């Protein structure tokens, strides 16, 4: 049987288990993808905190593995990727100390400003190289410390979301490089924990695990997991680029005749950047809001975190709640036929946790003396135009940090299917825009597993991708 690799790909709103296998084709291989299981990811308000329903996410991942086993797939390994920054704490008994808090929880509000009064932002960026965002792990831990959160007192290990899932699959504790890099607590040059910073924060460095690089076999699934899923106990768990952006960037194709290209991972968040060998830790990069996140192959992804399809997702959810659900193809058709109205600042904090996105956009337009959208099509067009303008700004800023300006932009992830946004991005940036693959994160996850298993030696051997 052909070896099968399972990608457990978790996003902020949903998750999937996708199977991938390689078949010889011509001088290379065709990667065949099959979605095995899709499930919702619904963070919930529990008391004062907005948390992830981790037991449900873990159970859904196991259900996906079980479906793969029932289909008779020859699964040799699995890899896990998720969103960044969030984590769980493991106590001395090896159990999870409370539900992982969602990055959209408000307890980190104001923490970056407090940190900046205690630490030099310039010196800190020269070490961490990460864009200051309240959602970053650093500020969640600050908030917990300042609140005397008892979970910190009993914590033995801090495991980021994919590390946490890996732990319950294998029993092994790791901090994978790409996901750890989102924390704002790594030294970007050495790719190791910034222990002096942790000590100044009153956090024991031994709470962190040594950094594990992508492409490392963590271990086999436990006998209990094998029994629960029907998978063979020899199935390995591979540390892939466990930050979804890292896996997506690894899968980004090189189908353009220039090396002066950027990637745009377009999902709930938009992450626009370039892959480099070394971080850029200059004051210019800090002021422009760039992060130096970890990439597969010890690469650095110099990028900006930009609010992405989240605004459109919340609009669609609001319309569904009132009985309007035309579907995305119809919404894009309506937007293409609509008139331009306003341009909003997609990174404005009011759009991060709105009670009602439609009303929040309308209020922003009134405050900025712009005509408010009045139809679904106008709202979608407004957001697409605003995203394209934000991408233009990011391209202009990254160009100031590169030896030569960009010529092309590869849009990957689910947003690559939005033809209106793609066209507006090309118009706004003046770059050649290429779209796809939409499943870039799962593809990058699976390709690294195949390389780790030595079925292929590089991703360039895969010349075609087919969805079954």
CB 341 within 8 A of CB 372: yes
The tokens describing 319, both together, are 């319309």
Instruction: Report the distance separating Cα 258 and Cα 253, nearest Å.
Output: 12
**Paired residues of 291 in beta bridges:** 303
Gap between the Cα atoms of 128 and 155, Å rounded: 24
Alpha-carbon dihedral angle through residues 129, 131, 132, 136, given to the nearest 10 degrees: -90
Closest to 81 measured CA to CA, from 447, 422, 391, 466: 447
Catalytic residue of the set 60, 81, 149, 244: 244
Q: Which of 347, 344, 335, 388 is nearest to 369 (CA)?
A: 344
Task: Establish whether 244 is a catalytic residue.
Answer: yes
Look at residues 253, 249, 247 and name the one whose alpha carbon lies nearest to residue 465. Answer: 253
β-strands 49-51, 269-276 pairing: unpaired
Strands 236-239 and 74-81: what pairing? parallel
Widest Cα–Cα separation across the chain: 63
- Collect all residues with Cβ–Cβ distance below 8 Å to 72 and sequence separation of at least 6: none
Cα Rg, the chain, nearest whole Å: 22
Report the first-to-last Cα separation within the chain, whole angstroms: 17
Catalytically active residues, by annotation:
244
């Amino acid at each position: 049987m052909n070896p099968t690799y399972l990608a457990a790909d978790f996003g902020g709103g949903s998750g999937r288990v996708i199977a991938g296998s390689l078949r010889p084709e011509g001088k290379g291989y065709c990667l065949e993808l099959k979605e095995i299981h899709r499930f919702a990811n619904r963070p919930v308000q529990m008391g004062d905190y907005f948390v992830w329903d981790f037991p449900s996410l873990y159970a859904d991942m196991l259900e996906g593995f079980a479906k793969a086993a029932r289909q008779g797939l020859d699964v040799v390994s699995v890899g896990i990727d998720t969103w960044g920054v969030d984590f769980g704490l493991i106590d001395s008994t090896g159990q999870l100390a409370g539900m992982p808090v969602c990055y959209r929880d408000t307890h980190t509000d104001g923490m970056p400003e407090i940190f900046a009064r205690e630490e030099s932002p310039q010196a800190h960026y020269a070490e961490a190289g990460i864009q200051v965002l309240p959602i970053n792990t650093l500020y969640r831990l600050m908030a917990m410390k300042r609140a005397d959160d008892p979970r910190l007192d009993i914590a033995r290990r801090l495991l980021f979301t994919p590390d946490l899932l890996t732990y319950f699959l294998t029993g092994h504790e790791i901090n994978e490089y790409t996901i750890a890099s989102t924390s704002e607590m790594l030294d970007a040059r050495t790719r190791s924990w910034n222990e002096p910073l942790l000590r100044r924060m009153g956090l024991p460095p031994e709470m962190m695990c040594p950094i594990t690089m992508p492409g490392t076999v963590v271990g086999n699934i436990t006998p209990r997991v094998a029994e629960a899923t029907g998978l063979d106990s020899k199935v390995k768990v591979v540390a892939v680029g466990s930050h979804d952006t890292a896996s997506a960037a690894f899968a980004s194709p090189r189908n353009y005749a220039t090396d002066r290209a950027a990637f745009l991972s377009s999902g709930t968040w938009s992450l626009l950047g370039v892959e480099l060998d070394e971080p850029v830790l200059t004051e210019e990069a800090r002021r422009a809001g760039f992060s130096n996140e970890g990439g597969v192959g010890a690469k650095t992804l110099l990028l900006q975190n930009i609010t992405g399809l989240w605004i459109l997702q919340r609009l669609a959810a609001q319309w569904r709640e009132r009985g309007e659900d035309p579907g995305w193809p119809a919404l894009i058709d309506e937007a293409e036929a609509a008139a331009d109205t306003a341009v909003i600042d997609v990174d404005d904090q009011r759009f991060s946790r709105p009670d009602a996105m439609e009303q929040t956009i309308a209020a922003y337009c009134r405050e900025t003396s712009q005509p408010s959208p009045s139809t679904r099509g106008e709202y979608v067009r407004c957001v697409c135009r605003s995203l394209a303008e934000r991408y233009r700004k990011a391209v202009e800023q990254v160009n100031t940090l590169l030896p030569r300006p960009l010529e092309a932009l590869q849009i990957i992830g689910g947003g690559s299917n939005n033809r209106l946004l793609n066209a507006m991005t090309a118009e706004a940036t003046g770059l050649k825009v290429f779209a796809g693959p939409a499943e870039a994160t799962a593809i990058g996850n699976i390709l690294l597993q195949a390389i780790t298993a030595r079925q292929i030696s590089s991703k360039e051997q895969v010349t075609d991708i087919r969805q079954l």
